[in-house]
Amino acid sequence: MVDTNAGSFFSDKSAKIFVAGHRGLVGSAIVRKLQSFGFSNLVLRTHSELDLTVQSAVDAFFTSEKPKFVILAAAKVGGIHANNTYPADFIAINLQIQTNVIHSSFTHGVEKLLFLGSSCIYPKFAPQPIPESALLTGPLEPTNEWYAIAKIAGIKICQAYRIQHNWNAISGMPTNLYGPNDNFHPENSHVLPALIRRFHEAKVSKDKEVVVWGSGSPLREFLHVDDLADAVVFMMDKYSGLSHLNVGSGKEVTIKELAELVKEVVGFEGELVWDKTKPDGTPRKLMDSSMLMELGWEPKISLKDGLVDAYKWYLENYAAKQ
Active site members = 147
Q: How far apart are the first and last CA of the chain?
A: 48
Taking the C-alpha atoms of residue 190 and residue 183, their distance in angstroms, rounded to an integer, is 8
β-sheet with 17-20: strand ranges across: 42-43, 17-20, 69-72, 112-116, 169-174, 245-247
How far apart, in whole angstroms, are the C-alpha atoms of residue 201 and residue 263?
A: 11
CB neighbour class for 240 (10 Å; exposed up to 12, middle 13-18, buried from 19): middle
Q: How many residues does the chain have?
A: 322
Residues 126 and 124: their CA atoms lie apart, in Å, by 6
What phi and psi values does residue 60 have, to the nearest 5 degrees?
-65, -40
Amino acid identity at 137: T
